[in-house]
Structure 1
Amino acid sequence: MAAVDSSVSGVSGRYATALFELAREDKSIDAVKADLDRFDAMLADSPELARLVRSPVFSADTQAKALAAVLDKAGFGGTTAKFLKVLTANRRLFAVTEVIRAFRALVARFKGEVTAEVTVAETLNKKNLDALTTALKSVTGKDITLNVKVDPSIIGGLVVKLGSRMVDSSLRTKLNSIKHAMKEAG
């Protein structure tokens, strides 16, 4: 059984751990992760599907039938489809995005990868992404997966969250520091 950490807990963590163990036994971790990534993308692209998943208004039967149709049409099968149907039958489909997040964390830990949450003011080009990945890999000694978020409000620089550590080298933070220093000085 996979060891539980703070990023994988609660209902979503239990379901993600169960799915991870099944996928590991079937040697289908990558296939299940790819399916879950695809389902997550479908949720992001379809407000109707997101509503079906999150809304308690739909009965379990309606949700199950609709999800089965979506899974069939999208070509989902095997472990992932069965798992999503179990989530639906147990009335836990609303937690699927958190289950997917927790599953990704379990896969990353299993593969010895570390996920870095990076916030930048504007989109980074491939050269800068590669340089950042290399720098973070040299610090951690592990493979790095970057989750990059663009937030123009940081003005410039970047904010990196790696596990429990955070480095904020954004221009917004530096300007705020100067502002506070000037207030104290005078």
Structure 2
Amino acid sequence: MAASSSIKEIAGRYATALFELAEGAKALDVVAEDLRHIQAGLNESDDLAAVLRSPVMSREDQGKAMSAVLDKMGANDLTKKFVGYVAANRRLFAMEAMITAYLEALATSRGEVTAEVVSAKSMTKTRLSAIEKAIKAAVGGKVAINHSVNPDLIGGLTVKVGSRMIDASVSTQLSKLKLAMKGA
């Protein structure tokens, strides 16, 4: 548990610094979009996730790998410099937590509620927009969606807003059915 709070602490400091730099450069949304792309890449590529977590890979190699990824996705210069700095300080292991902290800070600054939406497959912008609209109606305010993919859900999705969670995944439904069948 101490390691987890330590990572959150590191991530919070780095995310706050990035937020302040992005705010000064009037690039809050551009940086947020870059960070969402990095997060999507981490969710989809085990190799990229391994680069971030590898204790044997040198700082330079980690920095070069991340630089290549950021160049390919056309990331903003501020994002590139930030990730380069994080790599140089051997803090890439906390990158996912930094992304989460940055997006939370952005949502808070705008008075938005953040909704974590996890689906079994990638969703179209139209579908995400419909989900955002439904959550906005339920919450009664601005909503920022953080979407990720988890194929283990089999189908459906889970939505978490604050401490409330709606689990409409096929895997959970199957688990409930299995449990009910044991009692029969």
Q: Which residue in the other structure is 1:16 paired with?
A: 15
8 Å contact from structure 1 (residues 40, 97) kept in 2: yes
1:89–1:148 CA distance, 2 compared to 1 (3 A):
closer
1:29–1:129 CA distance, 2 compared to 1 (3 A):
closer
Aligned sequence identity (%)? 41
8 Å contact from structure 1 (residues 136, 144) kept in 2: yes
Q: Which residue in the other structure is 1:144 paired with?
A: 143
Q: Which residue in the other structure is 2:86 paired with?
A: 87
8 Å contact from structure 2 (residues 67, 80) kept in 1: no
Taking structure 1 as the reference length, the TM-score comes to 0.67
- How far off its partner does 1:42 sit? 3.5
C-alpha RMSD of matched pairs (Å): 3.9
- How far off its partner does 1:56 sit? 0.8
Partner Cα separation in structure 2 for residue 125 and residue 153 of structure 1? 18
Q: Which residue in the other structure is 2:165 paired with?
A: 166
Kindly tell me the number of residue pairs found equivalent between the two proteins.
177
- How far off its partner does 1:19 sit? 0.4
Partner Cα separation in structure 1 for residue 41 and residue 178 of structure 2? 44
Partner Cα separation in structure 1 for residue 61 and residue 150 of structure 2? 37
Q: Which residue in the other structure is 1:114 paired with?
A: 113
Partner Cα separation in structure 2 for residue 175 and residue 166 of structure 1? 18
Any stretches of 5+ residues in structure 2 without a counterpart? none
Taking structure 2 as the reference length, the TM-score comes to 0.68
Q: Which residue in the other structure is 1:3 paired with?
A: none
Any stretches of 5+ residues in structure 1 without a counterpart? 1-5
Q: Structure 2: which amino acid aligns with 1:31?
A: V
SS at structure 1 position matched to 2:82? helix
8 Å contact from structure 1 (residues 123, 150) kept in 2: no
Cα shift readout 1:19-65 (whole Å, capped 9, x = no counterpart):
0111011111011112222333344444433322210101223333x
